[in-house]
């Protein structure tokens, strides 16, 4: 059955098509990452939103609830591939990310022009609505873009593209940090926030146009049944697949360990007594992380598969937690640890879509990313507050306990990826088969 928009796709296998357009799609992907990274430091959700809410003098409980809302709305990811599929996927995906960027721009304009004339309660309400818009569009866009990225890039070139994307993210992100720092220092509060939202949102808005340059061959194929099936049906299918189930268990452990890493910043404040002006060192380290992974780790995926990336990511995560314990009260150690965390964070975002898609090729990568993220969210939401409470109660020894927990989960993930997770490109499974030793 022809789609009408992409004539001849039924008789033309997708694999040769994605090979011929790899350079074009790779350029668009790297360009989006680079331009987007310039704007992100101006309005990073996890930093500017709580800082601005505190400026609005909201209670800490309300601020925490709003920030948790960004994680709780991850359920919208389950509907991403159902909304964005077919020949116009890249157009609707572009509109979605433009709406995300426009949330920053519209509120920045409103606040800049009406701050002195509009009631503070009205501005607070508008910003909360802005946060809702950001959360919904962010979660709707992530799986669909991941699917377009995986399905339109040749298998043996996905690691190479990941490396280029990470290099662009890290390099241009560092430039964005310098510009955003100047902006926040140049304008008085609260207009430094408003100008940052305007500038960062405008840059991200421009970056969205690169999505229109994609040749989305996968979307031009006949709509697969997996795009129209319910998320619950697909979740049951993935849960019933032994290879994916084993992979997901250890991936969730790795993501849970990763959720403890923000306490590295708390360690810097409490143990090293870093002033607020030096916290920007962590921001710089965060953008150096993708450069490290892009140069050293991601290229190995094309040759050895993404299972090795999982092993290396878990190894880097365990090292990140080990360094502050071995080198207590040492600034270089904590910055290197945060750099390693950032390197793993960028790698972990691609593992489900790439390794998962190779393990279960008949399920769309976008739905796999959504289900993996949604299943991993509750454990992180449960453990992260517990870790914070442990630090609040026990102080420096609490940090040791949290870091030890992170090491433990990361080491279990290393063993799981090494011994139990299947390498789909070779079919290699290195594990002890209990059934080989029958009990008589």
On whether both 279 and 396 belong to a single domain, the answer is yes
Q: What's the domain range around 364?
A: 227-440
CA angle 168, 301, 164 (to 5 degrees): 10
CA distances from 309 to 46, 118, 301, 347 (A): 26, 51, 6, 7
On whether both 267 and 286 belong to a single domain, the answer is yes
Q: Could you tell me if residue 372 is inside a domain?
A: yes
CA angle 15, 20, 26 (to 5 degrees): 100
On whether both 50 and 159 belong to a single domain, the answer is yes
Instruction: List the pLDDT tens digit at each of the 440 positions of the chain.
Output: 334 444 443 434 566 778 888 899 999 999 999 999 999 999 988 778 888 988 888 886 688 678 878 888 888 988 887 888 778 889 999 999 999 999 999 999 999 999 988 998 999 999 999 999 999 999 999 988 988 888 888 888 888 898 899 999 999 999 999 999 899 889 988 899 999 999 999 999 999 999 999 988 766 664 554 455 677 777 777 777 888 889 989 998 998 898 888 888 888 878 888 775 566 678 788 888 888 888 887 788 888 888 999 999 999 999 999 999 999 989 999 999 999 998 888 888 888 888 888 888 877 778 778 887 787 778 877 887 788 888 888 888 889 999 999 999 999 999 999 998 888 877 655 443 434 434 33
The number of distinct structural domains making up the chain is 2
CA distances from 393 to 62, 274, 319, 385, 396 (A): 22, 21, 25, 12, 9
Cis ω on the peptide bond leading into residue 433 (within 30° of 0)?
no
On whether both 170 and 304 belong to a single domain, the answer is no
Cβ–Cβ < 8 Å for 221, 5: no
Cβ–Cβ < 8 Å for 104, 43: yes
Q: Could you tell me if residue 7 is inside a domain?
A: no
pTM: 0.79
On whether both 302 and 201 belong to a single domain, the answer is no
Pick from 310, 312, 405: which is nearest to 356 by CA? Answer: 310
d(CA 267, CA 29) in angstroms, rounded, equals 36
Decide which of 174, 201, 223 is a domain's last residue.
Answer: 223
For residue 397, with 0-12 CB atoms within 10 Å meaning exposed, 13-18 middle and 19 or more buried, which class applies?
exposed
On whether both 293 and 179 belong to a single domain, the answer is no
| CATH assignment at residue 383 | 1.20.1250.20
Cβ–Cβ < 8 Å for 319, 325: no
């Amino acid at each position: 059955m022809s789609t009408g928009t992409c004539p001849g796709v039924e008789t033309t296998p997708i694999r040769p098509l994605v090979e011929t357009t790899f350079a074009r799609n790779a350029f668009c992907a790297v360009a989006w990452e680079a331009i987007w990274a310039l704007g992100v430091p101006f309005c990073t959700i996890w930093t500017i939103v709580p800082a601005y809410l505190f400026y609005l003098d909201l209670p800490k409980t309300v601020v925490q609830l709003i920030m948790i809302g960004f994680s709780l709305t991850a359920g919208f990811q389950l509907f991403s591939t159902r909304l964005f599929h077919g020949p116009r996927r890249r157009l609707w995906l572009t509109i979605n990310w433009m709406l995300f960027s426009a949330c920053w721009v519209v509120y920045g304009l409103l606040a800049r022009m009406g701050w002195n004339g509009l009631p503070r309660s009205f501005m607070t309400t508008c910003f909360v609505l802005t946060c809702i818009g950001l959360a919904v569009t962010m979660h709707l866009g992530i799986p669909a873009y991941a699917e377009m990225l995986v399905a339109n890039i040749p298998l043996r070139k996905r690691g190479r593209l990941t490396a280029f994307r990470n290099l662009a993210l890290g390099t241009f992100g560092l430039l964005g940090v310098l510009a955003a720092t100047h902006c926040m220092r140049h304008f008085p509060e609260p207009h430094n926030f408003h100008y940052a939202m305007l500038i960062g949102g405008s840059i991200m808005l421009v970056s969205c146009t690169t999505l229109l340059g994609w040749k989305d061959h996968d979307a031009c194929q006949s709509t697969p049944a997996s795009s129209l099936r319910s998320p619950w049906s697909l979740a049951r299918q993935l849960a019933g697949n032994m290879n994916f189930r084993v992979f997901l268990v250890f991936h969730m452990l790795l993501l849970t360990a990763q959720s403890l890493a923000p306490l590295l910043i708390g360690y810097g404040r409490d143990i090293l007594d870093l002033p607020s002006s030096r916290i920007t060192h962590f921001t710089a380290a965060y953008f150096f992380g993708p450069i490290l992974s892009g140069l050293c780790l991601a290229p190995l995926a094309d040759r050895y598969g993404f299972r090795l990336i999982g092993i290396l990511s878990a190894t880097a995560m365990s090292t990140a937690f080990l360094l502050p314990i071995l080198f207590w009260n040492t600034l270089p150690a904590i910055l290197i640890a945060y750099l390693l965390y950032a390197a793993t964070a960028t790698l972990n975002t691609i593992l489900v879509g790439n390794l998962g898609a190779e393990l279960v090729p008949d399920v769309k990568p976008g739905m796999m990313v959504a289900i993996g993220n949604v299943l991993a969210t509750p454990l992180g939401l449960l453990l992260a507050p517990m870790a914070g409470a442990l630090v609040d109660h026990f102080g420096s020894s609490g940090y040791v306990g949290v870091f030890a927990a992170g090491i433990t989960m990361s080491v279990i993930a290393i063993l799981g990826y090494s011994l139990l997770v299947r390498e789909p490109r070779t079919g290699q499974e290195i594990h002890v088969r209990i059934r080989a030793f029958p009990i008589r």
